[in-house]
Amino acid sequence: MRKEPGSRYYVEGIEVPETPEPRSEQEQWTQTEYVGKPRPRVDAYERVSGSAVYPSDTYLPRMLYGAILRCPHPHAVVKGVDTSEAEKMPGVRTVISAFTPDDRATQPHSELIHTTLFSTRCRYEGETVAAVAAETPYQAWDAVRAIQVDYDVLPFVSDERRALDPDAPKVHDEGNQVAPTDTYERGDVAQGFAEADVVLEEIYRAECEIHTPMELHGCVAKWDGDSLTVWESTQGVYNIQAGLAGALGLPLSKVRVVGHYMGGGFGSKLQAGKYTIIAALLAKKAARPVKLTLTREETYLAVGNRPASNMRLKAGVKQDGTLTALEYVGSGASGGYQAGGTSLLDWLVRDLYTCPNVRTELTNIYVNAGPARPMRGPGHPQCAWALDQMMDALAEAIGMDPVELRLKNVPTVSQARGGSPYTTTGLKQCLEEGAAAFRWKETRAAIAREGNTNHLRRGVGMAGGLWAGGAGGPPSTVIIKLFSDGSVNLNMGASDIGTGTKTVMAMVAAEELSVDPDAIQIEHADTGTTQFATASGGSKTVPTEAPAVRAAALDVKRQLLDLAAGEMGVEASGLTLKDGKVVSIDDPSQEREITALRSLRRRRSITGVGYRGPNPQGKAVNPFAAQFCEVEVNTRTGEVKILRFLAAHDSGRVMNRLTYQNQVFGGITMGIGLAMTEARVLDGDQTGKMVNKNWHDYKLPTALDVPADMTCVPIELEDPEANSVGAKGLGEPATIPTAAAVANAVYHATGVRITNTPITPMRLAQALADARKGE
Amino acid sequence: MLPKFSYVRATSLDEAVRLLSSDDGARVCAGGSDLLGCLRDQVFECSRVVSLTGIDGLRGIARTRDGGVRIGALTTIADVAADPTINQSYPGLAQAAGELASPQLRNQGTIGGNICQKPRCWYYRGDFDCLRKGGTTCHAVAGESEFHCILGGAGCFVVHPSDTAPALVALQATVRIAGRRGTRSVPMEEFYVLPNQDVRRETVLEPHEIVTEIVLPRPAAGMRSSYHKVRARGAWDFALAGVALALQFSGNRVTAGRVVLSGAAPTPWRSREAEEAIIGKQLDAATAAAAGRAAMEDAVPLRRNGYKIPLFQGVIEEALLAIGRA
Ligand SMILES: Cc1cc2nc3c(=O)[nH]c(=O)nc-3n(C[C@H](O)[C@H](O)[C@H](O)COP(=O)(O)OP(=O)(O)OC[C@H]3O[C@@H](n4cnc5c(N)ncnc54)[C@H](O)[C@@H]3O)c2cc1C
């Protein structure tokens, strides 16, 4: 049984309390004062000035520094660890390994595989072997280097395409296939291909990418008797709390995790790392706070990746553009342990375009390399790389415009969910309005007219997309306090992972309470003091938290109007809030300053509680997208210049025009990384070690790789059914179609189709030379 | 993490030479942008870091008496890129400096450090057994060789990382060197050492020697120079394939000059084949393409860098056609 998409991130079907009464008073906003307007971030000054305190900026009195010894081999048995030299070194306070007592905590790698904290059989380069805490980071690293490890180096396999060969070394003794191949089927593909006028087949591959957030993974751990506080760079403090409590056998209540600011995660900071637990153990043993920040190199090896994906796609289409069949075989690299090597890798094939006959197969494979983790839209950008390049090829084969072909196949229901209707689907509008704003037809006509025979060739490309998550859902609890001076305190557990969550939530509360967002102080991401929230991931933070914030604000508003009604001698239902005043709806001359309400002054505060209500029954809530780009290719050198990008997104209501645009431009930038520059390189034929584990050799796109001309076209459909604010997720959809759009534009410019990411000058210069030879 | 070392800031050249001579593990530090990375990655041992930044007179760009230019070793890359004289008389060098790395690195890195920097081979820099580090193998041969050389390799297959060096070779620059036995001058073309001469070093510098300045001769009449570079991303990256040209024209005919490749070989690589293909000719499409092919005649790719042959042909063609039009 395959899990429902997005179930990693939140829980469906649980009982949730609701305030106010389900859906009462929660009409969709029609006119807004704050929501939807472009508003700079509430913490912009702190972030830009450097005064924001991130976990990596946290220094506690008497704090020690931790460092981890990691296995340098992709596959090895640890026969012994000699820490005697290290223990004697200056400044060293404690050393732990698999061979020291009391350090046998286990850590969940996934629901099914628990591993010990320190491995005696290391299945990837970078597994933890021992750890040190010392007075300075330099002393800690000197001590790590002084630890002697006796390794029995084993044969390894790094390429998932070879890992299922009978003679391939075994990552796990049971074999290298993580689980039986997962299949999905609807209709009859053989029949579908028989009905097609054109059938095409192609093999695609997306290379492994690393998340590389700006802030390194790490934490500071401090004990207070038997209770533990951890400051961690994380997407979800409650996930870290659960990971720590589980591994250390502590009650949840004794573990406090704080994560106010964090410098990016992209899916790699959804859970507690081994390093988190190691920091806590070192701190316990040394009886001192310990800071453990990984090095950049460690983060390349051991804290997740977007797995390499292999995709074979066969597609059938009729001359009129009707898709008749899609057959898709995918495989991916789980890494050394069970992880989502193929998670959601077929979702777009199943759900994006109307097709009655679909068959997919996914095989998740162990290799001796770091385990995968969700990365911004797991499975989707890779699947789009295959599917939307295929759509382009089909369009060409039947002589149809690529946008037309997609428009011909826009579904109104979620085919992969047995035909559940979408609350809203803006795919058609994304395609149409995006193409119009991009001047798609005109640009294609102009390129055709000019002949494109120079060595600098222009091309345009596009791709569609949807994200299997993006609905959000319970549980989430938010508390809002209104003070007697009219200022407001918003308390929520959610992390702001750089997307502007705090700003959006302040705008939501401000909207209902009619106060300036700047009057709202936000307390968040602290398991000790803020309310339960799921991790910020899966593009669900706005659709999960904003309705809970709105509900809490409405709860405050109801109580406040009740108080005012008594004092003003008016029915509460006839009152509303406006600019810090309670105003009669019928007679605006009847008004009272909130600060003038006697009963509020006596009470000092009003507290409102909001819960996230359930999602609509039997309906799918998903965001949709279409992206368009124009490139110029130098056919002598294979250099690609992306001239412009346009992204049309249906993510429901735009909550803040600025942070919306940030997500879209950031998503495009990351997609350009997949398309053009990024790939993990393993020395697979010799040592199995990663050769490009730094920011120079692993090439992230720079400002010069991203066009200055980027346009964001929100398709704002009203979606009252989705949730009480009508917003859907945006962060992940923004990066899903990007790489495929680039590949299609390069093809349009050159007639050369690059099916393996990234499209570097290396790959393209060779492909263009091969094409010239073939001419 | 950086290993332990002592740090001394010399205040004179003599003192610097003495500090280098008295400790086998001493290393020169200019901007430190390459050295510190090497130390952090433990590419080589270093017990003493001798900083040159306290020495007067090693910085700045000045005209020489015979109409050339002298660039102090500590002049930053950014200053070289922005200098009006260099832009006017040696545009190829200004372009190479301006295309290199990133703004931060150009502000920090010096021209002396740039020509003396260590190779960027990921096996050399990483935690691998490596011939150049005194090990027994070159992993590039049977490994991940997409960034390695196609010319001049022997045992070791690094490429020289500098962008300014090929431009300086093309412009016939000379390096001034101070050391225990006084000063000497070496033409840039003879400054570098191929692996078949000595796989453990990149330049002719002795451990106690310091580059003090680079001298460019007065540009000949009709001289044009340029630098073209292809890299895997728009900035903050070394050349996959680059070409420095310094060509003398009479009318639109090339009469003399040099074609020097970056990203091709363990040293800046002068392509006499390409030079032969263009000297005496006008740079039309056929000549440019022929020069590109000639430059690659002896190229021997490794497993992963076969793309460099069409890429070099393309960038040489592009550079020649552009300079011919200039
Ligand atoms: C991410 C990254 C990208 C880069 N991209 C490029 C690029 O695209 N093109 C390019 O050309 N370079 C590139 N570089 C290299 C950069 O230009 C050099 O690091 C810089 O020029 C070195 O100058 P420095 O003064 O900092 O040298 P240092 O780091 O101080 O020294 C470098 C080496 O030269 C020796 N040295 C320095 N000065 C002297 C001297 N006067 N006499 C004798 N020996 C000396 C040192 O001992 C050391 O071994 C890049 C570097 C990085 C880190």
Structure confidence by residue, pLDDT tens digits, B219-272: 999 999 999 999 999 999 999 999 999 999 999 999 999 999 999 999 999 999
Residue B148 lies in a domain: no
Cα B45–B49–B54 angle (5° rounding)?
A: 165
Decide which of B147 and A12 is more confident.
B147
Average pLDDT, chain A: 95
Does B45 reside within a domain?
A: no
Strands (E) in A276-405, as ranges, are 290-293, 309-317, 323-335, 358-366
Do residues B163 and B178 share a domain?
A: yes
Tell whether ligand 1 has an atom less than 6 A from the beta carbon of residue B119: no
Q: Is residue B164, in this structure, part of any structural domain at all?
A: yes
Counting runs of H as helices and runs of E as strands, what totals does chain A give? 18, 30
DSSP H or E segment with residue A633 = strand A624-634
Residue B122 maps to a domain: no
Does a cis peptide bond (omega within 30 degrees of 0) precede residue A411?
no
Which pLDDT belongs to residue A35?
Answer: 98
The answer to whether A218 and A294 are in contact (CB under 8 A) is yes
Place of tokens 């415009």: A401
How many CB atoms are closer than 10 A to CB B102? 15
Query: Token digits for B70?
Result: 């002298």
Structural domain contains residue B210: yes
B191 shares a domain with B60? yes
Residues B177 and B92 placed together within one structural domain of the fold:
yes
B165, pLDDT greater than 50: yes
- CA angle A501-A503-A508, nearest 5°? 95
Query: CB neighbours of A204 closer than 8 A, spacing ≥ 6?
Result: A310, A311, A312, A313, A385, A386, A389, A755, A756
- Give the number of C-alpha atoms closer than 13 A to the C-alpha of residue B3, restricted to the C-beta side: 16
Q: How far is the CA of B171 from the centre of ligand 1 (A)?
A: 20
Helices (H), A451-515: 501-513
Pocket flag, ligand 1, residue B240 (CB < 6 Å): no
Q: Is residue B247 part of a domain?
A: yes
- H or E element at residue A774: helix A761-774
DSSP state of A28: P
Which tokens is B75 given?
């002049």
Mark whether B209 and B266 lie in a shared domain. no
B210 and B301 co-located in one domain:
no
Amino acid type, B134: G
B99 CB within 6 A, ligand 1: no
Short-list A600, A630, A636, A684, CA closest to A159: A684
Query: What is the CA A158 to chain-centroid distance, rounded?
Result: 25
* Whether residue B283 sits in one domain with residue B262: yes
Residues in A closer than 8 angstroms to B231, CB to CB, are 761
What pLDDT sits at residue A9? Answer: 43
Q: Could you give the number of structural domains in chain B?
A: 2
| Candidate from A636, A762, A768 with C-beta closest to B232 | A762
Residues 6+ apart with CB under 8 A from B138: B123, B130, B131, B132, B155, B156, B157
The gap between the terminal CA atoms of chain B, to the nearest Å, is 48
- Per-residue pLDDT at A10 exceeds 60: no
Residue B243 sits in the same domain as residue B290: yes
Whether residue A426 is predicted with pLDDT greater than 80 in this model: the reply is: yes
Q: Round the average pLDDT of chain B to a whole number and report it.
A: 97
Tokens of A212: 């590389």
Nearest CA to ligand 1 atom 21: B114
Residue pair B308/B325 in contact by the 8 Å Cβ criterion: no
Distance CA B172, CA B168 (A): 6
- Phi and psi angles of residue A32, each rounded to the nearest 5 degrees, phi first: -125, 150
CB B10 within 8 A of CB B19: yes
User: H or E element: which one contains A465?
Assistant: strand A456-466
By percentage, how much of chain A surpasses pLDDT 90?
92
Bridge-based pairing state of the strands A182-186 and A709-714 = unpaired
- Residues with Cβ within 8 Å of B292's Cβ and at least 6 positions away in sequence, in order, are B274, B312, B313, B314, B316, B317, B320
pLDDT confidence of A19, banded at 50, 70, 90?
Answer: low
Which residues from chain B sit within 8 angstroms of residue A703, using beta carbons?
234-235
Q: Is there an atom of ligand 1 within 6 Å of B27 CB? A: yes
Axis crossing angle, helix B308-325 with helix B285-295, rounded to the nearest 10? 140
Give every CB contact of residue A57 below 8 A, 6+ residues apart in sequence.
Answer: none
Name the B residues in 303-322 with CB < 8 Å from any A CB. 305-307, 309-311, 313-315, 317-318
| Strands lying side by side in the sheet with A591-593 | A575-578, A581-584, A591-593
| C-alpha–C-alpha distance, residues A318 and A323, integer Å | 6
Compute and round to an integer the Cα radius of gyration of chain B.
19
Select from B232, B241, B314 the Cβ nearest to the Cβ of A677.
B232
| Domain boundary pick from B216, B235, B252 | B216
Query: Can you tell me the distance from the alpha carbon of A258 to that of A238, in angstroms, rounded to the nearest whole number?
Result: 9
- Give the start-end residues of each E strand in A484-580: 488-492, 520-524, 575-578
Q: Is residue B231 part of a domain?
A: yes
| C-beta of residue A402 within 8 angstroms of C-beta of residue A206 | no
Residue A140 one-letter amino acid:
A
Rounded-to-integer distance, Cα B128 and Cα A412, Å: 55
pLDDT of residue A112: 64
Q: What percent of chain A has pLDDT over 70?
A: 96
Query: β-pairing, B174-179 with B210-216?
Result: antiparallel
| Residue A629 · residue A461 · CB < 8 Å | yes
Question: For residue A446, what pLDDT is reported?
Answer: 97
- Tens digits of per-residue pLDDT, A235-279? 999 999 999 999 999 999 999 999 999 999 999 999 999 999 999
User: Same structural domain for residues B279 and B297?
Assistant: yes
Give the mutation candidate from A296, A672, A762, A770 for the B interface (greatest B CB count, under 10 A): A762
What are the helix (H) ranges across A70-218? Answer: 84-88, 137-146, 189-195
Question: Strand A64-70 and strand A128-134: pairing?
Answer: antiparallel
Claim to verify: residue B189 and residue B264 sit in the same structural domain: no
Q: What is the pLDDT, as a whole number, of residue A487?
A: 95
H helices then E strands: how many in chain B?
A: 13, 12
What integer pLDDT is reported at residue A116 of this predicted model? 87
* Residue-wise pLDDT tens digits, A519-534: 999 999 999 999 999 9
pLDDT value at position B99? 96
Confidence label for A8 from pLDDT (cuts 50, 70 and 90) = very low
Does the ipTM exceed 0.90?
yes
Q: Quick: pLDDT tens for A433-469.
A: 999 999 999 999 999 999 878 999 999 999 999 999 9
Segment 636-675 of chain A within 8 Å of chain B by CB: 636-639
Which of the four pLDDT bands, split at 50, 70 and 90, describes residue B285? very high
The yes-or-no verdict on residue B294 having pLDDT over 90 is: yes
Residue (of A597, A509, A523, A592) closest to A556 by Cα position: A509
Query: The CATH number of the domain where B180 resides is what?
Result: 3.30.465.10
Q: What is the CATH number of the domain that holds B287?
A: 3.30.390.50
Cβ contacts (< 8 Å) between B305 and chain A: which residues?
762
**Residue pLDDT, tens place only, A22-49:** 445 678 999 999 999 999 999 999 999 9
Given B216, B232, B264, which residue is the final one in a domain?
B216
How many CA atoms does the CB half-sphere of B265 hold within 13 Å? Answer: 24
Alpha helices in B100-220 (DSSP H): 103-108, 111-116, 122-125, 164-170, 188-191
Q: Give the integer Cα–Cα distance in Å for B236 and A679.
A: 17
Q: Is the CB of B210 under 6 A from ligand 1?
A: yes
* Helix residue ranges per DSSP H, A612-719: 657-672
Q: Is A762 on the interface with B (CB under 8 A)?
A: yes
Q: Answer yes or no: are the C-beta atoms of A125 and A301 closer than 8 Å.
A: yes
- What would the mean pLDDT of A357-367 be, rounded to a whole number? 98
Q: Does the structure show a pLDDT above 80 at B110?
A: yes
pLDDT for the residue numbered A4:
45
Would you say residue B190 lies in a domain? yes
B199 and B231 in a single domain? The answer is no
Residue of A nearest to B307 (CA): A766
* Cα–Cα distance, A145 to B286 (Å, whole number): 59
Q: Which domains does chain A have, with CATH numbers?
A: 44-52+472-611 (3.30.365.10), 62-154+214-264+269-302 (3.30.365.10), 400-470+619-774 (3.30.365.10)
Q: Which of B199, B216, B233 is the last residue of a domain?
A: B216
Question: For position A17, what pLDDT does the model report?
Answer: 62
Q: Report pLDDT digits (tens) over A185-210.
A: 999 999 999 999 999 999 999 999 99
A:700-719 residues touching chain B, CB 8 A cutoff: 700-705
Structure tokens, A576: 């509303």
Q: Domain residues for B65?
A: 56-116+159-216
* pLDDT at A342 exceeding the cut of 80: yes
My answer on whether B250 and B310 are in the same domain is: yes
Residue A101: pLDDT band (50, 70, 90) is confident
* pLDDT tens figures, A558-586: 999 999 999 999 999 999 999 999 999 99
A171 contacts A335 by C-beta, under 8 angstroms: no
- B194 in the same domain as B61: yes
Q: How many CB atoms lie within 10 A of CB B25?
A: 13
Mean pLDDT across A522-551 = 97
Short-list B182, B258, B226, B179, CA closest to B324: B226
